Amino acid sequence: MTEYEKEWFEKDYYAILGVTESASSKEVKSRYRKLARELHPDSNPGDARAEERFKEVSAAYDVIGDDDKRAKYDEVRKMGPIGPMFRGAGGGAPGPGAGQFNVGMDDIGDLLGGLFNRGGRGRGQPGAARGQRGSDIAVDLSLQFDDAVNGLETTITLTSEATCAGCDGMGSAPGTAPSKCESCDGRGIHDENQGLFSFSRPCQSCGGRGSVITSPCTNCRGSGVEVRPREVKVRIPAGVKTGQKVRLKQRGGPGHGGGPPGDLFVHVTVEPHEMFGRSGSDLTVEVPITFAEATLGAKVKVPTLNGEAVKIRIPPGTVSGKTFRLKGRGGTGDLLVTVAVVVPQELSREQRQAVEAFAKATTESPRAHLGL
């Protein structure tokens, strides 16, 4: 079995792309494009997590996005931990289903060794099994507008599954140790001979761990997991929006029987800002101007998110609703300034005289083209 096929065996490319196994190639493609856009290093400079995820997603698409490779991948996965595992007995031909991938005996031995983590590291040791991955945990986080735009590091307190403090996750009462599973003699698997092949199945008595807890920890009843409040440090990347999920790898529920922890997903909600809005990666702001400023042109001050005012030049004849782009002034993007011409609701005597004089001097109707 080649390196890449081993990788196929271990990685769930469907989960990485967030599509189902029955997703059409069109769905896979559009999902990949969306992820690639979001995670591209150019859009996330210096974000190592996004970069790592970008690589994962690219590797997954390399397989799932190619019909031939995908079909092979599906086959390889069928041979995986979900289905029965087989290995040849006495150097016979590879089993049905394995043959089409030219999987040799040694390779399958390798594969099993990898699966049970038994390789050269002491066959049959208690606790040598792969264990079960911890649960993914979701937590809500409400962010101030500024923090969402600029990114921040914060600490979230959540109550969730955590490694039991009483036994440090081992499941055994302090001072005691798990003993070897008698049913499988500590191997974590049972072999069943069927003709040429012997199938290996995880041991039911010990859940494949090879060991059993004889004196369970009273705090967690032997599960190694308890529910308690804990604090998690979170780095929120700049530019997050309401509805986005920030994934913290392996910060979810603890694994069971030596399995890896699950992930923590932080669901972000962003508080609205009284002045600023967002459009893609840009910020937006509406700036009122007078009729005179719009007509004659003016230099007006506009606010930016960091509190510093910036002057922009409004050219003569600017229409209401025109948008000016201020490069690099909107957090991770630009600031889009949309001007709104204000119509005065009350006029002083001078203002009224001035407007009346303007009306008198205006001879052409703006409605001439309507033929009225």
Interface residues toward Zn ion, by CB under 5 A? 164, 166-167, 181, 183-184, 203, 205-206, 217, 219-220
Query: Phi-psi category of 131—alpha, beta or left, where left has phi over 0 and alpha has psi -120 to 50?
Result: left
Closest approach of Zn ion to the CB of residue 173, in Å: 8
Closest approach of Zn ion to the CB of residue 203, in Å: 3
Choose between 35 and 170: whose C-beta lies nearer to Zn ion.
170
Choose between 151 and 259: whose C-beta lies nearer to Zn ion.
259
Closest approach of Zn ion to the CB of residue 181, in Å: 3
Choose between 219 and 332: whose C-beta lies nearer to Zn ion.
219
Closest approach of Zn ion to the CB of residue 214, in Å: 13
Whole-number Å distance between alpha carbons of 292 and 327: 27
Choose between 210 and 330: whose C-beta lies nearer to Zn ion.
210
Choose between 205 and 290: whose C-beta lies nearer to Zn ion.
205
The answer to whether the beta carbons of residues 150 and 204 sit under 8 Å apart is no
Whole-number Å distance between alpha carbons of 251 and 233: 10
Edge-to-edge strand order for the sheet containing 333-342? 276-279, 282-290, 333-342, 323-330
SS3 152: strand
- Token duo for residue 154: 């914060």
Choose between 79 and 206: whose C-beta lies nearer to Zn ion.
206
Closest approach of Zn ion to the CB of residue 263, in Å: 23
Whole-number Å distance between alpha carbons of 255 and 230: 16
Q: Which of 160, 149, 150, 158 is nearest to 233 (CA)?
A: 158
Closest approach of Zn ion to the CB of residue 186, in Å: 7
According to DSSP, the residues that pair with 26 across neighbouring strands are: none
The answer to whether the beta carbons of residues 354 and 362 sit under 8 Å apart is no
Q: Which of 352, 234, 318, 334 is nearest to 281 (CA)?
A: 334
